[in-house]
Every structure is written in C-alpha cells, then in structure tokens.
C-alpha cells in the first residue's frame, strides 16, 4: 500500500488497482501548491468524510476529469450530483453501513463534527452527518480516516469491529481534537501499527505542527509508530 499526504486531510491511497483520494482539498490548500491534476492521476475513487469546503475541495473537477466513483453520505452524493457529478458514478452510504467499492469496502462510522456547504446567497446547505471512514482491503492493511472529530468513547467499538492498523488522525485543535487528546484517543481505544497526523498547519488558527501529538504519543504506553510524512511524498506501508 502506498500513501501520499497532500496536507490538511487530503490523502491518496494506492492499493492494487485502486487509487483512492480522500477529502481532496488541493487547490487553495496553502501547504500544497501542486493543484489537483497531479494528485488525481489515475483516480478510481473519491471518498469524502463530510461536506465542508476544506474536505470536498476539488472533488467536482476530479470527478469530471476522471472515471472515479464518489463515495460519501447520501446527502453529499446528491448535492454533488446537483452540481454536475455523474449520478451513475456515486456510491452513497451512511453511519453503520458498508459499501462495496470493488477492490475494497468503505464503512461509515461516527465523527463528532458538523457538515455544510455555503450557497451563493450566503446561507449554508446541510450535508448529512459527518463520518469517519474505515477502508478494508482483501490483501492489505485496514485504514481508518477519522475525518474531523473529537475523541469519543465509542472509538473502542470501532476498534473492536474493524481493528484498523493505520490511523489517519486529525490533531489541529479548534475544529478537531488537539494533539494531546488525539494521542489519548489512539492510545486508549486503538491498537494501531502506524498513525499519521493530519488537519494541521493549513490555516493560521489551527496548530501549525504535529509536535504536541508526537510528544504525547511518545509518552504513551503503546509503542505505536508515529509517521509525520513530507507533504506530497509517497510512502509505503
């Protein structure tokens, strides 16, 4: 499995014949200046945790210019179809549900956050409940992208049901868990082999680095590998 982090919560996962983009906020992402075309090359799937602009990002452009299938909650799929996405290339789901994506499955799990998108008139359209996404591969590691969330006790059930080995963990504070709380979530509720922090450094009002998370993980009892990747550089897991 090969992963690339593009800053914020945007990841590319390459596993077998699948090229998966999660929350592809690329254009306008201050930590990534490569646009969306390079990141989206060969994309087979676009997965969205929720409907905020810094997660939906370049989804429409990617969907228009690739043959990728959109995997998101029902409201968000319908919203993007209304914006021009192909209705025949959506794969909607919702909390507790698992959808078959071909070479992998995606399960929608809880996340404590909100989800909306701005209209042209300044109002916001509600886009369903935010989610975390658990990706199961037949012959590869299970990945849990937490989305934007705070810590919550039922993370223990997510671990029991899915036993994810790779955690993509928001740590930036203000809109998600901060580094120390995110480390507590990883240490108390999961048995991750590797955790990758995200959702930091993009905007001035969130934490600018992963130091709090890294130091808090080092103080924990579990010897989980903490990987802080270089933005745009692919790495193997």
What is the tens place of the pLDDT at every residue in 26-62? 999 999 999 999 999 999 999 999 999 999 999 999 9
Give the pTM: 0.98
Residue 179 has pLDDT above 90, yes or no: yes
Per-residue confidence (pLDDT) for residue 119, from 0 to 100: 87
The whole-angstrom separation of Cα 171 and Cα 197 is 6
* Dihedral angle over CA of 82, 125, 177, 131, nearest 10: -50
State the pLDDT at residue 149. 98
pLDDT score at 122? 87
- Does the pLDDT value for residue 221 go beyond 90? no
The reported pLDDT for the residue numbered 38 is: 93
pLDDT at 189 over 90: yes
Q: Decide if domain 2-228 falls under CATH 3.60.15.10.
A: yes
Q: How confident is the model at residue 145 (pLDDT cuts 50, 70, 90)?
A: very high
Mean pLDDT of 215-222: 93
Q: How far apart are CA 224 and CA 201, in angstroms?
A: 23
**What's the mean pLDDT in 172-193?**
98
Query: Which of the residue ranges 75-79, 176-180, 219-223 would you say has the lowest mean pLDDT?
Result: 219-223
> Quick check: 188 pLDDT over 90?
yes
> Mean pLDDT over all residues of the chain?
97
Q: Mean pLDDT, to the nearest integer, of 138-151? A: 97
d(CA 157, CA 178): 22
pLDDT, mean of residues 64-85: 97
Task: Label residue 190 by pLDDT band (50, 70, 90).
Answer: very high
pLDDT at 109: 98
Q: Tell me the domain boundaries of the chain.
A: 2-228
């Amino acid at each position: 499995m090969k992963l690339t982090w593009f800053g914020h919560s945007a990841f590319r996962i390459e596993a077998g014949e699948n090229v998966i983009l999660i929350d592809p906020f690329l254009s306008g992402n201050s930590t990534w200046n490569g646009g969306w075309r390079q990141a989206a090359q060969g994309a087979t799937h676009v997965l969205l945790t929720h409907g905020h602009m810094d997660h939906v990002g370049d989804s429409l452009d990617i969907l228009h210019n690739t043959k990728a299938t959109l995997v998101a909650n029902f409201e968000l799929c319908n919203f993007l179809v209304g914006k021009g996405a192909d209705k025949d290339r959506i794969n909607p789901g919702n909390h507790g549900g698992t959808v078959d994506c071909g070479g992998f499955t995606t399960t929608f799990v809880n996340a404590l956050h909100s989800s909306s998108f701005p209209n042209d008139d300044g109002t916001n359209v509600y886009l369903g409940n935010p989610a975390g996404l658990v990706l199961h591969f037949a012959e590869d590691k299970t990945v849990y992208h937490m989305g934007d969330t705070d810590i919550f006790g039922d993370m223990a059930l997510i671990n029991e049901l899915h036993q994810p080995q790779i955690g993509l963990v928001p740590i930036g504070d203000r809109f998600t868990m901060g580094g120390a709380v995110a480390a507590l979530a990883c240490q108390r509720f999961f048995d991750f082999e590797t955790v990758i922090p995200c959702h930091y450094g993009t905007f001035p009002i969130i934490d600018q680095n992963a130091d709090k998370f890294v130091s808090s993980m080092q103080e924990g009892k579990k010897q989980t590998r903490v990987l802080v990747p270089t933005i745009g550089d692919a790495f193997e897991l």
